[in-house]
Copies of this chain bind each other. A is one copy, B any other.
Amino acid sequence: MASPTGRARSVRARDARWRGALAVLDEMRRRPGVTRADVARRLALSTGSATEITARLRELALLSETPAAATGRGRPTTVLHPHPRGPVVIAVDLRQEDWRCAVAEIDGRPRVSEEGRHGSRHPAKVVAAVGEAVRRVHDRFGGRVRAVAVAVAATVRHGAVVQSATLGWDAVDLTGLAPAPGLPLLVGNDATLAGAAEARYGAAAGAGTALHVTIEVGVGGTLVVDGLPIEGATGAGGEFGHLPLGDPALRCPCGALGCWDLAVDGRAIARHLGEPPPRDPRSYAQAALARAEGDAAVRSAVGRTASGFGRGIAGLINALDPGIVTLGGFAEPLRAAAAEEFAAALTDGLMRFRRADPPPVVAATLGDDGALHGAAAIALDRVLTEEGLDAWAADHTG
């Protein structure tokens, strides 16, 4: 379907130059290990076009081909791989206590290259350490690096960190992470990127509309449509934790009243137990699940929390109508620890007509790697465009 209010697309032949090539590269990304014959079939390409396109891409070091294992009669085809001197992106995941820096070829699988812990609350130090790592990777891969994407446990607007309860940061400038001028630096919220990764490679693969929800400190998540997170006007979409689904009497550190955040993470469990707010809601929540084994009061507190979580999920399903819901971080253990309470609240919160075939609510499958995969994905999205390939081709000819 056309996008009649989108920016005026240019129609020039220049923009058709990479049509077939991009389709092939996308297919390669989506199905690692795909054969050339398969790609041609899927894209309804003639064998002539397939020959021409793969030859061009091989020439430009955008892919390489190796003989495929024979599957029967007929001339054997080839498997398409990223080229050993092809473009790469750097993906960074900046979490509460540590960070990881990975490299991904155009198949989108990040391979962790460096990692480190940061006890420090000083953003400048963390940024400096991560920046060093990025620069080392950039030195190693040189011109092959075409973009850098950072997943950060923070609210991100217009590509900049605005605040982070998890990290204890206010606005932080991450532009120092760019290892070279002119290299695109993309910054995204970690839960948003994890959701994108789940929708592309994980539990929600294939779903047109997927909802990802994660609990760490508060709630994060995103609605993903056709592999792209609904980012909102400033990039801060998916802050479901700040819907007033919680206790209207409680003031959230974000400034609003009744945020769902306060009703589902470790702070909620502590409140139900009459204990003081935990310094680190994440580890407190994990510990509570262990304590619940032998302690009925803790079990009950966990159950009430799971119930509040299920009720909110039901509301989000009502409002957004996802085809599947994936749970990340503490969300899945919480649901598992009080499965009945969660399920009851979920069903009770659904509109009646949705109860016959509600969307599956499943555990995220990429675990801790989701955000890293998502960062690699958005970085590659940037590289695998007409403009990106134009730039790459300009560097790789003549």
Contact = CB atoms under 8 A, between A and B. Distances in A.
A233 B209 contact: yes
A10 interface: yes
A163 interface: yes
Interface residues of A, number: 86
A208 B233 CA distance: 7
A162 to B, nearest CB: 5
Contacts of A123: none
Contacts of A348: 256-257
A230 B5 contact: no
B351 A255 contact: yes
Interface in A68-105: none
Interface in A349-398: 349-355, 359, 377, 381-382, 384-385
Given A237-B209, A353-B162, A385 B320 contact: no
B11 A27 contact: no
Contact of A231 (B20, B321, B381): B321
Interface in A220-264: 223, 225-228, 230-240, 242-245, 254-257
A1 interface: yes
Contact of A207 (B233, B322, B377, B384): B233
Nearest to A322: B233
A350 B4 contact: no
Contact of A2 (B8, B22, B320): B22
B256 A318 contact: yes
